[in-house]
Amino acid sequence: PAKPAPAASSGPVGASVTPAIWQTLKPGSSLHDLVANLRAAGFPPAVVRAVVSQMVAERLSSPGLDDLPFWKKNFNNPEYRAAQEQMNTDRRNLLTELLGPDARPSAMMDPASRERRYGSLSDDKIDQIETINRDFNELRMKLFADRKPGDTQNPMAVQAGLEQEVQKDLAAILTPAELEQFEMRSSPSASRVMGNLKGLEVTEAEYTALFRAQKAYDSVDPLRTGDMTADTMVLRAAAQEELNEQARAVLTDDRFYEYLKASDSTYAQTAQFTASYPAITPATTYELAQIERNYQAAMMAGARRSAGGAPSSERMAQLTAARTEYQDRINTLLGPETAAVYAQRNRTGVISIAPAGRIGP
C-alpha cells in the first residue's frame, strides 16, 4: 500500500507547505494527468519536460530489436537504424501531444545556450532551423551508414550537396544578416575558427573577419567534397596562403602565429621543428612554412603534368629543379646545418632535433 502523504509543514517564511509526492503527482498511468499534476504543483517547464521525457522513454521501445545481438545494434544496420528513427519520431510526436508549446525546440533551450547558438532569433525561426538540422543529420547518418567499404569520396560529395540544400533552406527563412549571425555561431566554419582561436583574445570585429575568411576557404576546399586531384590540391594550397594572409591582416601581432598553429597544418608542423631553435622567430617559421607549401605545390603540379603525358625526362628535370630551388631557399633562410636537419625531417617523416646552431646564411 502507498505510504500516506506527509503532513503539511512550515516553510522557511512560515507559509504552509504540502509536499508533492510521486503517488499524488502520478495517478494511474495517464501521462496527460501527470503533466497536469506537475504543472498544477508549480514545477517549472524544464522540470516537467525532464520528468515526462523520462516517462516517455520508458514507455517507448523498438519491438523485436531486443533480440538482436549487440553487434547488430548500431546505425550501420538498416533494420536497427529504421527502428531508432521511428522511435525518435514517436517520441517527438508524443512529447508534442503531452507538452504542447513547451515541447518546441526553442522552449527546451536554456537561455545561455540559446543566445550562444541563435542570438536574437525568434522562436519560430529557431524551431524551423532545428527541424532543418534534424532532417540533415538524419540524412547524413544514413549516407555514411550506407556507404560502401573504402568509398570516401562519393559520400563526401553527397554531403557537400546536402549542405548546399541546407544553406538554401536556411536562406529561405532568415534574412541575410540573420543567416550570417547564425552561421558565425553554429556553422562548421564557425567551429573551425573557434577551435583555431583556442585561448586567444579577439574582438567581435576580428572574429567576424576571421569567420568570413574561413567560410570563403571552406567553400572551395576539395577535402570537403572529395575532389582531391592534383589540380584541386594545388588550388587548395593557394587558398590556404590567401586565408593566412587574411588572418594576418586581422591579427596584426603575435596572435597571428599562435592562430596558425591551429589553422594551418603546414605551419604547425614547421613550428614543431623550429621550437627547438630559439633563434628562429615566428616570422621566419612562417616563411619556412610558405617555402614548404610552395614546394609541395610544385610537386603536385609535376604530378599533374606527368598525368597529362609529359615525357619522363622532362618531368624528372622539373622535379629536380623544384627540389634544388627548395633546398637553396631553406639553406638561405636557416643556414646549411639547420636546413640539412629540416630536410632530413621531411624525408623520414620524423622531426629530427640537432643542437641549435647558426641561423641564416
Tell me the average confidence (pLDDT) per consecutive run of 10 residues in the chain, 361 residues long: 46 54 78 90 92 88 76 84 86 93 92 92 96 88 73 70 89 96 94 94 97 94 74 86 96 95 94 94 96 87 62 79 91 94 70 39 38
The per-residue pLDDT for 153 is 62
Provide the whole-model pTM.
0.75
Distances (CA, A) of 60 to 37, 77, 91, 163, 262: 22, 20, 7, 32, 44
Cβ neighbors of 141 (< 8 A, separation 6 or more) are 75, 81
The single residue listed with the C-alpha cell 544496420 is 77
- The distance in angstroms from the start CA to the end CA of the chain is 92
**Can you tell me the distance from the alpha carbon of 92 to that of 196, in angstroms, rounded to the nearest whole number?**
36
Q: Could you count the other beta carbons within 10 Å of the beta carbon of residue 235?
A: 16
Q: Which cell is 355 given?
A: 643542437
Task: Assess contact for 225 and 157: CB atoms under 8 A.
Answer: yes
**Can you tell me the distance from the alpha carbon of 156 to that of 111, in angstroms, rounded to the nearest whole number?**
35
Any alpha helices (H) in the chain, and if so which ranges?
A: 22-25, 31-40, 45-59, 78-99, 111-118, 123-145, 153-173, 176-186, 188-197, 204-218, 222-225, 230-250, 255-263, 265-274, 282-307, 312-334, 336-348
Cβ neighbors of 293 (< 8 A, separation 6 or more) are 237, 240, 241, 266
Q: DSSP code of 213?
A: H
Phi, psi (deg, nearest 5) at residue 17: -125, 130
Q: Which cell is 328 given?
A: 637553396
The per-residue pLDDT for 9 is 42
**Can you tell me the distance from the alpha carbon of 307 to that of 110, in angstroms, rounded to the nearest whole number?**
56
Tell me how many degrees the CA angle 264-269-272 measures, rounded to the nearest 5.
Answer: 125
**Can you tell me the distance from the alpha carbon of 212 to that of 219, in angstroms, rounded to the nearest whole number?**
11
Phi, psi (deg, nearest 5) at residue 159: -65, -40
